[in-house]
Amino acid sequence: MGIVAGLDSSPDFTRIVVCDTDTGTVLRQGYAPHPVEGAEGGGRPSDVDPQAWLLSLGEAAGGGLLEGVQAIGVSAQQNGLVPLDAQGGTVRPALVGGDRRAQVAAADLIDALGGREAWAQAVGCVPQAAQPVTKLRWLSRTEPEAAARTAVLLQAHDWLVWQLLGRPARRTTDRGGASGTGYWSPATGAYRPDLVELALGHQVLLPEVLGPSEAAGTTPEGLLISAGTGETMAAAFGLGIGLGDAVVSLGASGSVMAVHPEALVDSTGMITSLADATGMHLPVVSTLNAVRALRGAAELLGVPDLESLSELAMKSTPGAHGLVLLPYLEGERTPNLPHTAGTLAGLRRESMRPEHLARAAFEGMLCGLADALDVLRGRGVDVRRVFLLGAAAELPAVQAAAPALFGAQVVVPQPADYAALGAARQAAWALGASQGTLDPRLPPVWGGPAGQVLEPGEELAVGQAVRQQYVSVREQTHPGAFRS
């Protein structure tokens, strides 16, 4: 009946998908990189002029891409903090990314409120360097003049929505984005302005938190703009995950998230309690070591790429002839062992072969993520199906082992712009709710992603034996690592 657009402003580029409102079928697509200077040493800069996001958006939407579109949804990188002055101007470039500069500030904030459990009780998470609340602390300590001028706080998707609407007096966000700030509680659905003051030193204006199907406003041209959300929540919405589903992301580090009906408070700090884009909750558990463990093994074995490592691993058998790799190469967050190193156990003459070490690397990575899944399961989160994301999800060694080690059906969706699709689905929901054609409590039903479906099948018992072998080594090496 109509068409909507979803745009995803990631750290490096903007993607736009134009979709059929009823089915979610992608009709047109746009793409443009962000015009951002590289940081010293080739890394991603931690300070970015938000105008770069607008320039990229304009380029991606060129050529009449948005012609006929009735509503737009915005997804953007999480943890980006845009401090504004009283007139709406940017006080300084946006603070984005993990931003290691803020690590000391995170430790300061944890102590200032009385420890990790106090933060978990307050906002469902413990401050980390990436979070806006921690960046505020860094700003107040390092750039006090900029901190003093800061009167309004927005995140990346808030700022883009505000710009698309012509910079109105009303500024908005959504509960998904708000839940990642460190100063909004998913459990109560309310801001904690006292935590903003603790971090920044004074009170500021915070954006109004919209409901999942509410619109942020309408442009002068009549284009409806939905609430927008963070990339993680948009990707989950684009995948169409629901109760019983989890998403395991394989990057250099890993993350596990699942849909749950209530906010979880975790005194250990292993669970970050986020809200999703539908009114539910999205608890997340992260690991520091995922694909980096595979790359390390490939370098050690002298194979050129992960495909070759996978091929080598497939020559071994489940359990890798007793070899177990605890892949804590950068320390670890789950379990909380920040200063430890990796461990290779079970060395015997017959196991000292390249294929067994390759297999142990894959099994170690997946068992570490299974540990993260168990943190959620241990808090009552139902996990029956796991969506496996990331380029490494395509590797045969991952697909062979993951279902049995996770103890669940595994879906490897075809690569797609799921965050942009989620933003478009949100736009369709807001449009339908505003027109009275959709229930504001129920999102539009779009087709699920195409992909491979892998079942544990007869391998389940073997996989659980491999998992137990891993857990035994972990408990011997780091006894009680998962106790509160």
CB 277 within 8 A of CB 234: yes
User: What CA–CA distances, in Å, run from 379 to 367, 375, 475?
Assistant: 19, 7, 20
Residue 39 has pLDDT above 50, yes or no: no
Round to whole Å and give the CA distance between 29 and 8: 11
* All residues at 6 or more sequence positions from 47 whose CB lies less than 8 Å from its CB, including other chains: 92, 93, 94, 95, 96
Give the sign of the dihedral formed by CA 362, CA 364, CA 369, CA 373. Answer: positive
Whats the size of the chain, residue-wise?
484
User: What CA–CA distances, in Å, run from 103 to 108, 112, 128, 292?
Assistant: 9, 14, 7, 21
**Per-residue pLDDT tens digits for 229-262:** 999 999 999 999 999 999 999 999 999 999 999 9
- CA angle, corner 349, sides to 345 and 353, nearest 5? 80
Return the percentage of the chain with pLDDT > 70, whole number: 97
pLDDT at site 45: 66
CB 18 within 8 A of CB 65: yes
Residue 467 has pLDDT above 90, yes or no: yes
Question: How confident is the model over 86-97, as a mean pLDDT?
Answer: 94
**Per-residue pLDDT tens digits for 291-347:** 999 999 999 999 999 999 999 999 999 999 999 999 999 999 999 898 999 999 999
pLDDT at site 266: 86
Quick one: pLDDT band at residue 44, thresholds 50, 70, 90? low
**Per-residue pLDDT tens digits for 377-434:** 999 999 999 999 999 999 999 999 999 999 999 999 999 999 999 999 999 999 999 9
Strand partners, 385: 245, 409
pLDDT at site 265: 87
Quick one: pLDDT band at residue 35, thresholds 50, 70, 90? confident
* All residues at 6 or more sequence positions from 12 whose CB lies less than 8 Å from its CB, including other chains: 33, 34, 36, 44
Between these two residues, 77 and 37, which has the higher pLDDT value? 77
Burial class (CB in 10 A: 0-12, 13-18, 19+), 436: exposed
pLDDT at site 38: 43
Return the percentage of the chain with pLDDT > 90, whole number: 91
pLDDT at site 172: 98
Question: How confident is the model over 187-195, as a mean pLDDT?
Answer: 96
Round to whole Å and give the CA distance between 149 and 414: 46
**Per-residue pLDDT tens digits for 125-143:** 999 888 999 999 999 999 9
Round to whole Å and give the CA distance between 56 and 229: 18
- Token pair 């190193």: residue: 341
pLDDT at site 103: 87
Strand partners, 17: 6, 29
Structure tokens at 458: 């007869």
Question: How confident is the model over 7-20, as a mean pLDDT?
Answer: 96
